[in-house]
C-alpha cells in the first residue's frame, strides 16, 4: 500500500469528492481508497485540472474530511471471474455477501471491458425457449440477444425474472448470472433462497447493489456482472443467461451521479449522457461464434408512462419487448403480459415457421377484435353483437385464460403446482382453441393450466 500514489481530499459534496494529487494524476476509472483501513472506495470520473480529480463514492463516505489522505491504486475496480464464483452471491467489489470473511477465489478482472469487435460477433436466429406460453408463442426471445420486461410497480417483473431463472437453469446447460441493481434487500435474500432450494445455485452467480447503497455502486454493478458473463462466454465457451433487475435503477443511479457531478440535466431531469451510458452497458451483451450471452432485463416504467425517456431509450436497445399490463394484473391474468403490445423480431415467418407465425397472428387478431368490442359490450350487452363477433369474443376470452400459467416460484403463494410448457404443446393448445375445439368449455377450465389437455381433466372433475 505504501507504493500507491498519495493525494489529499480538497472538497466533499456527499458522494462526490475532489482530490488533489501532486505527483501523478490518476487515470479515469481508477480505483481510489480512503480511510484508516482503506474501507472507502472511490472511482475517478473526471479531471478538473492538472492536479485535481473528481471522484464518485462506491461506499458510504461518513467520516471523510478535507485534508484526509487518499490513495490511487493505479488500477480499475476488479471482480472475481471463472467457475469459482458459481454458487456465490457478491457485491460490486467482489466480496462474498453470505460469508464476508471468505477469501475471494477466481481470477480478478477489471469491470471496464471493451465490447466484442464486429468481426468476432455471431448473429443467429435461434429461439430461447422459456417454458412460458405467452412469451414463447407471442414474443419469442432470441438467443444471444437482449429482451426487456417493461412494467410499472407491482405488475410482476421480478416474479417473471425469478421464474425465468428457475426454468432456464433446469433446461439450460449454461450458466445464469443475476444482477440486482437498486432493488430491495428482502428480494435479494428471497431470490437467493429460491435459487438454492430449487437446486440450481451451483450453475448461477448472484451480484447485488441494493437500493440502500450509494449511487456509484448501483451504477457500476451492471458492469461487474457483465465482466463475469463475458469470462464465461469467452474463456469457458459457455452460453450465459444474464438477468438484470432493474435496468431503470441503473439509469436512475446514473442520473444521481450526473447530478452530483454538477451536469446540466436533460429531458425530464435525466442525465444528458443517458443514451451513451445505456449503450455502453448494452453493447457488451453479444454473441460470439462459440457461445452467447442472452440478457433478459426488467425495466420499471415510471407511473406506467411508456413515453418516459428511460423506457424509450431502453426500447431501442432490445430485440424483444415484453409489456406487462396493470389492467391484466388487476383481472388476475398472470403473467400479466400484454399480448397486443409485446413484440419480438423473432416473430417472423422465416424464423419461427409458417405454423407458429399464423397461430400467433390469429391469437392477436381475436384479442384485438375483442378489445375493440369491449365498449360496445359494456354499453349494449353482448347479445347485440353479430354471431361472428360473439364467437370471436368467446374465443378471445378463452385464449386470454389459456395465456395464464402457474409458476414454480409462486407455488407457496397460490398452492398451484408450477408448469413448464414446451413450445409445441403451447402451439397445439392455442391452435385447438382457435379451431373452436373448446367451444363448450367454461373459461375457468382453461385458467391457470399448462398443457391444454388439463382442461379436459378439469371438465371431467367439474361434471
The catalytic residues are: 157, 183-184
Cα–Cα distance between 439 and 391 in angstroms, integer?
9
Q: Which residues lie below 8 Å from residue 434, measured CB to CB, with a gap of 6+? A: 359, 362, 363, 366, 395, 399
Q: C-alpha 380: how far from its chain's center?
A: 43
Of 402, 405, 448, nearest to 428 (Cα)? 402
Pairing of the two strands 204-209 and 175-181: parallel
Q: How many helices (H) and strands (E) does the chain have?
A: 14, 18
Written as nine digits, the cell of 269 is 431531469
Is there a contact between 205 and 90 (Cβ–Cβ < 8 Å)?
Answer: yes
Q: C-alpha 376: how far from its chain's center?
A: 38
Residue 143's alpha-carbon distances to 126, 247, 338, in angstroms, are 6, 19, 22
Written as nine digits, the cell of 420 is 413448464
Cα–Cα distance between 213 and 218 in angstroms, integer?
7
Concatenated DSSP letters of 117-146? PGGGB-----EE--S-HHHHHHSPEETTSE
Question: 370: number of CA atoms within 13 Å, CB side?
Answer: 19
Scanning 409-453, the segments in alpha helix (DSSP H) are: 411-414, 423-434
Cα–Cα distance between 39 and 68 in angstroms, integer?
13
Q: What burial class does residue 100 get, using C-beta atoms within 10 Å of its C-beta: 0-12 exposed, 13-18 middle, 19+ buried?
A: exposed
Whether residue 335 has a cis bond before it, omega within 30° of 0: yes
Of 440, 458, 439, nearest to 448 (Cα)? 458
Of 428, 353, 453, nearest to 133 (Cα)? 428
Cα–Cα distance between 36 and 18 in angstroms, integer?
19
Q: What burial class does residue 304 get, using C-beta atoms within 10 Å of its C-beta: 0-12 exposed, 13-18 middle, 19+ buried?
A: middle
Amino acid at each position: 500500500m505504501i507504493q500507491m500514489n498519495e493525494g489529499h481530499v480538497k472538497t466533499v459534496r456527499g458522494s462526490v469528492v475532489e482530490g488533489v494529487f501532486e505527483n501523478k494524476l490518476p487515470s479515469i476509472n481508477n480505483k481510489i481508497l480512503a480511510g484508516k483501513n482503506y474501507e472507502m472506495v472511490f472511482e475517478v470520473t473526471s479531471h478538473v485540472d492538472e492536479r485535481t480529480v473528481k471522484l464518485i463514492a462506491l461506499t458510504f463516505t461518513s467520516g471523510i474530511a478535507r485534508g484526509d489522505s487518499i490513495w490511487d491504486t493505479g488500477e480499475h475496480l476488479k471482480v472475481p471471474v471463472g467457475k469459482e464464483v458459481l454458487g456465490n452471491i457478491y457485491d460490486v467489489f467482489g466480496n462474498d455477501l453470505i460469508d464476508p470473511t471468505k477469501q475471494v477465489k477466481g481470477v480478478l478482472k477489471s469491470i471496464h471491458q471493451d465490447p466484442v469487435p464486429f468481426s468476432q460477433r455471431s448473429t443467429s436466429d435461434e429461439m430461447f425457449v422459456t417454458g412460458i406460453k405467452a412469451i414463447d408463442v407471442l414474443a419469442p426471445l432470441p438467443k444471444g440477444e437482449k429482451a426487456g420486461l417493461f412494467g410499472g410497480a407491482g405488475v410482476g417483473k421480478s416474479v417473471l425474472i425469478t421464474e425465468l431463472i428457475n426454468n432456464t437453469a433446469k433446461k439450460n446447460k449454461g450458466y445464469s448470472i443475476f444482477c440486482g441493481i437498486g432493488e430491495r434487500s428482502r428480494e435479494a435474500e428471497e431470490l437467493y433462497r429460491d435459487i438454492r432450494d430449487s437446486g440450481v445455485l451451483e450453475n448461477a452467480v448472484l451480484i447485488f447493489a441494493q437500493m440502500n447503497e450509494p449511487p456509484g455502486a448501483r451504477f457500476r454493478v451492471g458492469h461487474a456482472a457483465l465482466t463475469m458473463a463475458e469470462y464465461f462466454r469467452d474463456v469457458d465457451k459457455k452460453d450465459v443467461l444474464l438477468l438484470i433487475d432493474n435496468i431503470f435503477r441503473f439509469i436512475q443511479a446514473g442520473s444521481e451521479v450526473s447530478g452530483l457531478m454538477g451536469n446540466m440535466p436533460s429531458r425530464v431531469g435525466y442525465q444528458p449522457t443517458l443514451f451513451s451510458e445505456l449503450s455502453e452497458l448494452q453493447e457488451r451483451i453479444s454473441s460470439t461464434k462459440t457461445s452467447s450471452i442472452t440478457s433478459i432485463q426488467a425495466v420499471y416504467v415510471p407511473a406506467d408512462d411508456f413515453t418516459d425517456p428511460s423506457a424509450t431509450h431502453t426500447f431501442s436497445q432490445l430485440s424483444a419487448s415484453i409489456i406487462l399490463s396493470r389492467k391484466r394484473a388487476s383481472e388476475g391474468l398472470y403473467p400479466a403480459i400484454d399480448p397486443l403490445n409485446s413484440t419480438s423480431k423473432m416473430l417472423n415467418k422465416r424464423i419461427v415457421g409458417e405454423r407458429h407465425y399464423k397461430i400467433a397472428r390469429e391469437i392477436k387478431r381475436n384479442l384485438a377484435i375483442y378489445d375493440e368490442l369491449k365498449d360496445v359490450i359494456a354499453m349494449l350487452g353482448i347479445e347485440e353483437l353479430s354471431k361472428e363477433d360473439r364467437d370471436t369474443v368467446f374465443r378471445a376470452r378463452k385464449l386470454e385464460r389459456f395465456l395464464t400459467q402457474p409458476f414454480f416460484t409462486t407455488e407457496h403463494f397460490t398452492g398451484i403446482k408450477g408448469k413448464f410448457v414446451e413450445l409445441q404443446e403451447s402451439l397445439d393448445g392455442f391452435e385447438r382453441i382457435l379451431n373452436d375445439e373448446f367451444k363448450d368449455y367454461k373459461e375457468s377450465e382453461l385458467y391457470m393450466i399448462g398443457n391444454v389437455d388439463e382442461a379436459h381433466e378439469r371438465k371431467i372433475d367439474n361434471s
